[in-house]
Chain A
Amino acid sequence: MRLTVDGQSFDIDADPDMPLLWALRDLIGKTGPKFGCGIAACGACTVHVDGQPVRSCSLPVGQVSGAVTTIEGIGTAGRLHPVQQAWLEEQVAQCGYCQAGQIMSAVALLDEVADPSDADIDNAMGGNLCRCGTYPRIRSAIKKAAALKTAGL
């Protein structure tokens, strides 16, 4: 089975029922997406397939037809995505475990809506649980990221 992840092509030998998350983490070695619940209830595993946010813990790898993007594919420490930059500036993360999923949901939101309202943020981010309660800073970071993106930074 071939899988394109973060612009790279991988040949994997997996049960097609294996969730994409475990193919990424255990077979390919992409540990950015996190395991939180296994039932698409917490969003920690969020990645993009052809730009659309999906919960990789509940998507069988055999059904993945598009290109997969993980947190490791949107930016690097030296070249951050505007959403990552905003997360850094707003000092969002506490334990940090849910943040890869939060950031991937936020990136997808901003690709869809350049200047999201509070209601847009509530709708797009409601599936991403954070047990540290970083929501107020997530909200301000999304608004800051929108401004950074609009300014072309």
Chain B
Amino acid sequence: MASVGKIARRTFLIGAAAVAGGVAVGYYYYRKPFPNPLEVELGKGEATFNPYVKIGADNTITIVAPRAEMGQGISTTLAVMVAEELDVDLDRVKVEHGPASYAYYNAAILEEGGPFAFFDESMTAQAVRSGLGVVGKFLALQGTGGSASTRDGFDKMRQAGAAARQMLIAAAAQKLGVAAADLETADGSILHKASGKSLTYGAVAAAAAAMAPPAEVRLKDRADWNLLGKPQKRIDMLAKVTGAPIFGIDVRLPDMLYGTVKMSPRFWSTPVKADLSKAEKMPGVIKIVPLETNYGHGFGIIADNTWAAFKAAEAIDAQWSDPEYPLSSAAISDVLKQTLGTKGSVMRDNGDVDTAFADAPRERIVEADYAVPYLAHATMEPMNATAQFRDGALDIWCGNQAPTLVRQLCANAVGIEQDKITVHTTFMGGGFGRRVEMDYALCAALMAKETGGRPIKVTWTREEDMRHDAYRPAAIGKFQARLGDDGMPVAVDMKMASPSVIAGTLRRLFPSISPLGPDKTIVDGAYDQPYTIPNYRVSGVTAPVSIPVGSWRSVGSSVNGFFHEGFMDEIAVAGKIDPVGMRKRLMAAYPSAVKVVEKVAAMAKWGEALPAGKAKGMAFTLSFGSWVGEIVQVADTPVGIRIEKVWIAADVGTALDPGIIEAQLISAAIYGLSAAMGQEITFADGMVEQSNFHDFDAMRIFQCPVFEVAILENFHKMGGVGEVGTPPAAPALANAIFALTGKRIRSLPLSKTVAFA
């Protein structure tokens, strides 16, 4: 799709960083391993083989799963990768998140950051992908996101388990005086069948860990997998059904204080006038301190208990400077419209779109304008962090998606070296991209400098959380198609405008780096879809609105899945072609996509007549390397539209845990349906208008449809799982509502136009 020349001209943000930094100078550094962070924290009798495996003399086997567990089951699946090759059952091992360390960098998180669709396997695309993996190492980002954790971990975690097992066998062979080839492993022990002698892993762990790692690591064939590929019992389930203190908000330390924050309700504004006297005098309040971080200004309230801090925060009387962005949603919308009229960056350009439209008869043209609002993440666990600053060192406890960034940003904020910071990463009560941000950690770190060495847990109110997010940006799009004589599209022209997630994220997390080029997330989910249309153009423009925007489950695909697939449905209707049949024809060059569409259509019995008052809609999105088709069935009821059933077919390449994958696909679809049905963040006077679940709600159990899921493994590369169910959910629902009511709703949330039961 893209040639080297085109890349150079476009200098897309992450791709450009890769070519400039990574590929040119990087390979030596890339190959050199980081030190094993477990070596400095071993307990008595413990030995470590690599950053992922520790074994104690008592045969306690600990696996480090260094990714954020925010519900997606990653700690289980990563542990299984090691356990599979180590030949131990999951219930025999302890699983820990481990320390913040560059050793745990995520290479896959950036791999798809280049200007190429996932299915583009040209040499250029592959070279940039490998370059971006190198950049992943350069930034040494221990991050969880981009649905990348299993793809990043699949080889290295299995290799870690296999290498440790080979070293244990070698040590046992020495100790028993037998050939390594005659030894077998099972359930944490090494057995010499001929003599009946056996040794536990723990008995030889110290000797084994002292050996050189094997030059060649042999991985099991898929046919020999005992754990991978099969549904596992999640390692975190027992703790989660017994109310165990596993979340950041549950941290309790001796002599701990409590606090909260009251940040400027206008982003980036400074306090013009503030009267703290009333709040300071309230019972239980110890101190109120000003806060200033990359996220803006506000106050930190230090108190005896959380409730006292909340009450005091309400009593702070402050006025804030005027914002640097438009004050209202209407004014923001005007900026987006103006931006859409300016020259965009073309990300896909097949054929000659201008010529194809030049002589098109009016009746062969389909045109549509689409729009989506800002959205909050609204994780169930509000933002919080606990911090203790004493003797020049900072300990910080919080659920976060990037521990090395917590360390780096807190070091800058507090004014100490990074090696004086210990990050304790807890389980997360939801992430969805929100915990890539660092505001909760920075506030707690700064407040910990004001407590005379006592630890402080800083919990945000739901209102503070809702009004200080890094939102999914609002976006608008203009869509045009020219139909051929057979009703099939011969040309499409798609253009979107949106504030830039990448620029917004850089401002907060890497303020020293300025954005180099257009933001690919503005067109993700539209430019990279497996459709062949002779004239096909997708372009994006960055809108200059500085309200904080960030990664929201599936990022750009959450926007463009709705735009692209809603418009595809419109094309099918205008061309009088069945939407499923049209997709199969347009996707013919991509067999994996066709199989997904056929599967979901067969599951839903697409094409069979439904009773009056019921209808179905279909959508497809390829995102994060997985090909996902969804069909939604809706029914007209006296109290509104009811979502009755959702069918999902997803090709993930290799399915490592079908139970967790099914849960994630349903979860992501509900996340997308919740937003499509009723969520929006709006602005008045420069402030967010919504505040809590009464005005920013999500799907409830009585609205939840029945789900049927099929997991396919046709494509030869593994895809992600955590986000990929979200993009097709909104368009499948909107297309179903069109089929039911004849109303084509092009602006979310749908509740502005129709009522839901």
Among listed B218-226, B441-449, B662-670, interface-contacting one: B662-670
Please report which residues of chain B, range 447-464, place their CB below 8 angstroms from some CB of chain A when the two chains form the complex: 459, 461-463
B381 → chain A closest CB, angstroms? 5
Given A31-B250, A129-B693, the answer on whether A121 and B701 have CB atoms closer than 8 Å is: yes
Chain B positions 267 through 299: 1 when the CB is less than 8 Å from some CB of chain A, otherwise 0: 000000000000000011000000000000000
Chain A positions 68 through 109: 1 when the CB is less than 8 Å from some CB of chain B, otherwise 0: 001110011100100010011001111111111001000000
- Report how many residues on chain B are interfacial, defined by Cβ distance under 8 Å: 66
Quick one: which of A42, A87, A134 contacts B693, CB cutoff 8 A? A42
Given A26-B305, A27-B305, the answer on whether A99 and B241 have CB atoms closer than 8 Å is: yes
Q: Is the CB of A92 within 8 A of B382?
A: no
Q: Is the CB of B698 within 8 A of A131?
A: yes
Give Cα distance in the complex from A131 to B358, angstroms: 48
Q: Is the CB of A132 within 8 A of B237?
A: no
Quick one: which of A27, A97, A135 contacts B430, CB cutoff 8 A? A97
Interface status of B585 (Cβ within 8 A of chain A): no
Q: Is the CB of A96 within 8 A of B239?
A: yes
Q: Is the CB of B707 within 8 A of A136?
A: yes
Residue of B nearest to A71 (CB): B243
Q: Is the CB of B462 within 8 A of A18?
A: no
Interface status of B70 (Cβ within 8 A of chain A): yes
- Report how many residues on chain A are interfacial, defined by Cβ distance under 8 Å: 58
Query: For B247, what are the chain A residues with a Cβ–Cβ distance below 8 Å?
Result: 34, 96-97
Q: Is the CB of B305 within 8 A of A132?
A: no
Residue of A nearest to B671 (CB): A133
Interface status of A48 (Cβ within 8 A of chain B): no
Please report which residues of chain B, range 674-698, place their CB below 8 angstroms from some CB of chain A when the two chains form the complex: 674, 692-694, 697-698
Given A26-B258, A95-B71, the answer on whether A135 and B307 have CB atoms closer than 8 Å is: no
Q: Is the CB of B707 within 8 A of A91?
A: no
Q: Is the CB of A91 within 8 A of B237?
A: yes
Quick one: which of B73, B305, B429 contacts A22, CB cutoff 8 A? B305
Q: Is the CB of B242 within 8 A of A18?
A: no
Q: Is the CB of B380 within 8 A of A34?
A: yes
Interface status of B249 (Cβ within 8 A of chain A): yes
A139 → chain B closest CB, angstroms? 7
Q: Is the CB of B430 within 8 A of A132?
A: yes
Give Cα distance in the complex from A25 to B692, angstroms: 21
Give Cα distance in the complex from A129 to B71, angstroms: 15
Chain B positions 366 through 408: 1 when the CB is less than 8 Å from some CB of chain A, otherwise 0: 0000000000001111100000000000000000000000000
Query: For B239, what are the chain A residues with a Cβ–Cβ distance below 8 Å?
Result: 96
Query: For A94, what are the chain B residues with a Cβ–Cβ distance below 8 Å?
Result: 71-73, 663, 667
A124 → chain B closest CB, angstroms? 9
Given A92-B241, A133-B699, A136-B666, the answer on whether A18 and B236 have CB atoms closer than 8 Å is: no
Interface status of A37 (Cβ within 8 A of chain B): yes
Q: Is the CB of B701 within 8 A of A29?
A: no
A103 → chain B closest CB, angstroms? 7
Give Cα distance in the complex from A88 to B233, angstroms: 8
Interface status of B246 (Cβ within 8 A of chain A): yes
Quick one: which of A29, A32, A98, A103 contacts B380, CB cutoff 8 A? A98
Q: Is the CB of B238 within 8 A of A126?
A: no
Q: Is the CB of A95 within 8 A of B238?
A: no
Give Cα distance in the complex from A95 to B298, angstroms: 30
Query: For B693, what are the chain A residues with a Cβ–Cβ distance below 8 Å?
Result: 36-37, 39, 41-42, 129
Please report which residues of chain A, range 42-77, place their CB below 8 angstroms from some CB of chain B when the two chains form the complex: 42, 44, 70-72, 75-77
Q: Is the CB of B241 within 8 A of A95?
A: no
Q: Is the CB of B237 within 8 A of A126?
A: no
Give Cα distance in the complex from A15 to B258, angstroms: 16
Q: Is the CB of B701 within 8 A of A135?
A: yes
Q: Is the CB of A130 within 8 A of B306?
A: no
Quick one: which of A87, A130, A132 contacts B241, CB cutoff 8 A? A87
Interface status of B12 (Cβ within 8 A of chain A): no
Q: Is the CB of B245 within 8 A of A31?
A: yes
Interface status of A116 (Cβ within 8 A of chain B): no
Give Cα distance in the complex from A146 to B522, angstroms: 48
Q: Is the CB of A128 within 8 A of B701?
A: yes
Quick one: which of B231, B242, B381, B694 contacts A75, CB cutoff 8 A? B242
Q: Is the CB of A96 within 8 A of B246?
A: yes
A24 → chain B closest CB, angstroms? 11
A21 → chain B closest CB, angstroms? 9
Give Cα distance in the complex from A77 to B308, angstroms: 33
Residue of A nearest to B232 (CB): A91
Q: Is the CB of A72 within 8 A of B242?
A: yes
Interface status of A137 (Cβ within 8 A of chain B): yes
Residue of A nearest to B669 (CB): A133
Given A70-B243, A129-B693, A135-B670, the answer on whether A42 and B700 have CB atoms closer than 8 Å is: no
Q: Is the CB of A131 within 8 A of B379?
A: yes
Residue of A nearest to B668 (CB): A133
Query: For B692, what are the chain A residues with a Cβ–Cβ distance below 8 Å?
Result: 37-39, 41
Residue of A nearest to B256 (CB): A26
Query: For B381, what are the chain A residues with a Cβ–Cβ distance below 8 Å?
Result: 34, 36, 95, 97
Q: Is the CB of B701 within 8 A of A91?
A: no
Q: Is the CB of B663 within 8 A of A137?
A: yes
Quick one: which of A26, A34, A100, A132 contacts B71, CB cutoff 8 A? A132
Given A39-B694, A42-B693, A136-B706, the answer on whether A19 and B307 have CB atoms closer than 8 Å is: yes
Give Cα distance in the complex from A36 to B379, angstroms: 9
Quick one: which of A80, A126, A131 contacts B701, CB cutoff 8 A? A126
Interface status of B724 (Cβ within 8 A of chain A): no
Give Cα distance in the complex from A37 to B699, angstroms: 16
Interface status of A3 (Cβ within 8 A of chain B): no
Q: Is the CB of B701 within 8 A of A84?
A: no
Given A32-B243, A37-B462, the answer on whether A96 and B236 have CB atoms closer than 8 Å is: yes
Query: For B306, what are the chain A residues with a Cβ–Cβ distance below 8 Å?
Result: 22, 25-26, 35
A153 → chain B closest CB, angstroms? 15
Give Cα distance in the complex from A121 to B704, angstroms: 12
21 sample A-B contacts, Cβ–Cβ < 8 Å, listed by A number:
A18-B307, A19-B307, A26-B306, A32-B244, A36-B381, A72-B242, A84-B242, A93-B71, A95-B71, A95-B380, A95-B381, A122-B701, A125-B701, A129-B700, A132-B71, A133-B666, A133-B670, A133-B674, A134-B663, A135-B701, A137-B663
**11 more A-B contacts (CB under 8 A) besides A97-B380, A126-B702?**
A18-B305, A25-B306, A26-B305, A31-B252, A32-B242, A39-B694, A72-B243, A80-B242, A95-B70, A96-B236, A99-B240
Top 3 closest pairs, chain A to chain B, by CB: A133-B670, A97-B429, A32-B243
